[in-house]
Structure 1
Amino acid sequence: FTQVARKLTRENIQTTLELTYRSLKDHFGIAKPRLAVAALNPHGGEEGIFGDEEIDIIAPAVKSARKKRIPAYGPFPADSLFHHAARGDYDAVVCMYHDQGLIPLKLHHFFGGVALTLGPPFIRTSVDHGTAYDIAGTGKADESSMKEAILLAARLARRMVNRRTP
């Protein structure tokens, strides 16, 4: 966790917000995506009591994104943010580290979750779990995540082709 805090930069968060906003518009057809930003520390840092990353890094990145007309909000405490996202208050949540974002995803879509890489000029989807070498060849693996990754890639490719076709 301390490594996450040391590597957190305003620039990286701004870039992630811009990529997420653009991808939701381009790939998913959301006209004005609303982005929520998760805090790093418990209770959103409690105004610096649990850490100052929200004050010094995350909030300024959100403010910069808003200056670029990106509807970004936060930072919000992660323990309650996903409830609001799940009920539709936001189109995406930008998290500060891997497990912060995967916990709610796996809670709701354990077998069918998909990872989508934002940024490259091509579509990249993958299963949201690891290699599962421990169960390879045993007949225990669930193919749902792989199926969903392929279907999402196909939908996104179709959308890209339709956007380019006059």
Structure 2
Amino acid sequence: MTLSYKRILVAIDGSKASEQAFKEATAVARRNNATLGLVHAIDTRAFSAVTSYDGAMTDKATEYAEKLLGEYKDVAIKNGLEHVEIHIEYGSPKTVISREVAKSFNADLIMCGATGLNAVERLLVGSVTEYVIRHAPCDVLIVRGTASDLDEVVKEEL
């Protein structure tokens, strides 16, 4: 039995692992003639610890997300995809990706990198990817990348 996916959501956080997930998601979307959703979740919980928070941090994070996802969208279109959507959301990336965006985008597949940017949170409460696996309303594919890609991710996190 061959599965066919029509709405593929890929989590992008700027890490090498999410870049690899994007590359694989683009290939899967092209093979399935699917719509590709690019999601970046801005973790607003981090801002609550800053006593002088005035919204400028959110603005900077939003600018970064718009630029990042815009570049990924351009690459996806250059690689033959016709339908690419950008989703920038605010809140805990775990719940935003697995519960909110997956449902509103009507995803039938979520693709994530095996590791992301936040090594400390992964040690304390588990990774975003682990949470998405347990709570997503659709299939989840974890992209591990090559051994050399994973070595680079580990070096960046240390």
TM-score normalised by length of structure 2 = 0.44
Q: Which has the higher contact order (CA 8 A, sep 6+)?
A: 2
Q: Radius of gyration: which is bigger? A: 1
